[in-house]
């Protein structure tokens, strides 16, 4: 019974990662520009989390000073999603996801700076390998250099808010953090609309109206790709090792690139050199948690000895 439950949990975890890999594709299916898209996504997510809090009878009461900190991280999340969808529009979903594959390596360098710990030697080595993979992509996909560059910025922002969220999670529930972050991300996107909407698109007017199937894609993005995986991940963290969860989540770019080719077809097919560069990055990303786990085990054995 326990084995069956564990297998089911891992299948659910992979399904969640598959859902997250689908977000870049949704960004291309939705006709709205990046800022408007993020506004609606975070609005739907904030309402969705508020509904979950109501039915689960959780508390959203947080001190004003902590709300400011949480909402500050929410602004970083807003910037991350804006640049994420902007990157996919400038290049392709595959190029965007290749850049996003560097998130865990950015985290490896940001976390020691934030928590004031030493950078590990293998993090530097893996960082160099990632750079070599990016150089391969840049060399043979020069037409997408702007989209890939913005994806790297998005990956950096994702790593930064993840590390900061790690600190916030010590004091607040996931529901409190997510609600105030989504609220802040929504408000930030709304405030930025008059200033940056023209920069990201050729249209001078803000595009509020949904067209075609936008309503459906936005609901999927806001509920299924945001609120649902969040709530399920919270439950899985109670039963599965954090190491296994993090390792599985590193497969998001793989699932995303495969889905992009299957769903969007010819527009997502890249040169063999692109996939070689992406493979180099993914190998580094997948090796990192293994080396990190091995290093922690080695230190624990040394301490006990």
**What span, in angstroms and rounded, lies between the C-alpha atoms of 45 and 228?**
9
| pLDDT more than 70, % of the chain | 89
- Using a 10 angstrom Cβ sphere, with 0-12 exposed, 13-18 middle and 19 or more buried, the burial of residue 227 is buried
| pLDDT more than 90, % of the chain | 15
Residue 89 has pLDDT above 90, yes or no: no
**What span, in angstroms and rounded, lies between the C-alpha atoms of 108 and 160?**
10
Tokens, residue 101: 């594959």
Could you tell me if 123 and 67 are in contact, meaning their C-beta atoms sit under 8 angstroms apart? no
- Using a 10 angstrom Cβ sphere, with 0-12 exposed, 13-18 middle and 19 or more buried, the burial of residue 295 is middle
Residue 79 has pLDDT above 90, yes or no: yes
Q: Give the pLDDT score at 68.
A: 93
pLDDT in tens, 243-286: 566 667 767 777 888 888 788 777 667 778 878 888 887 787 77
Q: Give the pLDDT score at 300.
A: 72
Could you tell me if 130 and 287 are in contact, meaning their C-beta atoms sit under 8 angstroms apart? no
Q: Give the pLDDT score at 297.
A: 78
**What span, in angstroms and rounded, lies between the C-alpha atoms of 44 and 58?**
19
Full-model pTM = 0.81
Place of tokens 């560069």: 277
pLDDT in tens, 150-188: 999 998 998 888 888 878 877 888 888 889 999 999 999
pLDDT in tens, 20-41: 888 888 888 888 888 889 999 9
Q: How far is CA 305 from the centre of its chain?
A: 39
């Amino acid at each position: 019974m326990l084995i069956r439950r564990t297998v089911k949990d891992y299948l659910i975890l992979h399904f969640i990662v598959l859902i997250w890999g689908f977000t870049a594709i949704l960004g291309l299916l939705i006709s709205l520009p990046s800022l408007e898209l993020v506004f609606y996504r975070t609005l739907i997510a904030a309402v969705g989390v508020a509904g979950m809090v109501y039915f689960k009878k959780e508390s959203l009461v947080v001190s004003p000073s902590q709300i400011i900190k949480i909402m500050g991280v929410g602004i970083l999340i807003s910037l991350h999603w804006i640049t994420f969808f902007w990157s996919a529009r400038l290049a392709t979903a595959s190029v965007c996801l290749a850049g996003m594959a560097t998130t865990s390596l950015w985290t490896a360098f940001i976390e020691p700076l934030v928590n004031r710990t030493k950078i590990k030697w293998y993090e530097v080595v893996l960082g160099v390998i990632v750079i070599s993979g990016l150089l391969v992509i840049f060399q043979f996909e020069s037409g997408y250099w702007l989209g890939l560059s913005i994806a790297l910025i998005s990956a950096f922002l994702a790593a930064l808010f993840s590390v900061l969220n790690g600190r916030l999670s010590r004091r607040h529930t996931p529901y409190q953090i997510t609600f105030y972050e989504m609220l802040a991300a929504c408000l930030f996107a709304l405030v930025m609309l008059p200033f940056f909407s023209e920069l990201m698109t050729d249209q001078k007017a803000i595009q509020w109206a949904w067209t075609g199937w936008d309503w459906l894609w936005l609901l999927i993005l806001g509920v299924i790709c945001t609120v649902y995986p969040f709530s399920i991940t919270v439950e899985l963290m109670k039963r599965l090792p954090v190491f296994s969860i993090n390792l599985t989540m590193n497969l998001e770019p793989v699932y995303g690139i495969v889905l992009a080719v299957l769903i969007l077809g010819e527009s997502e097919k890249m040169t063999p050199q692109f996939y070689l560069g992406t493979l180099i990055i993914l190998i580094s990303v997948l090796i990192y948690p293994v080396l990190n786990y091995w290093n922690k085990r080695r230190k624990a054995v040394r301490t006990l000895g």
